[in-house]
């Protein structure tokens, strides 16, 4: 058996469904989405408290 035959056998014979993929939407945020959410969070803080949030080195998340 050559390499291509072995690979074909592996991909065509998957009784446990380990090679099946799910397509659809993911909940992963893009870098831009995360940045926008961070700015919106800061704007909400400023609207609520009338000042910029202070840096807290004990809580850097």
> What is the per-residue pLDDT across 4-31, written as a single tens digit (0 to 9) for each?
999 999 889 998 988 888 776 777 788 9
Predicted TM-score (pTM) of the model is 0.48
Domain spans, the chain? 27-53
pLDDT tens across 28-60, in order? 788 999 999 999 999 999 999 999 988 887 876
Check residue 61 and give its pLDDT: 63
CA distance 60 to 50: 22
Check residue 38 and give its pLDDT: 92
Check residue 22 and give its pLDDT: 78
Residue 48 has, within 13 A of its CA and on its CB side, a CA count of 7
**C-alpha distance from residue 32 to each of 8, 11, 28 (Å):** 40, 37, 12
């Amino acid at each position: 058996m050559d390499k291509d035959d072995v690979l074909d056998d592996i991909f065509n014979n998957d009784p446990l469904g380990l090679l099946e993929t799910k397509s659809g939407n993911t909940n992963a945020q893009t870098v831009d989405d995360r940045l926008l959410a961070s700015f919106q969070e800061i704007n909400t803080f400023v609207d609520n408290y009338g000042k910029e949030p202070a840096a807290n080195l004990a809580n850097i998340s």
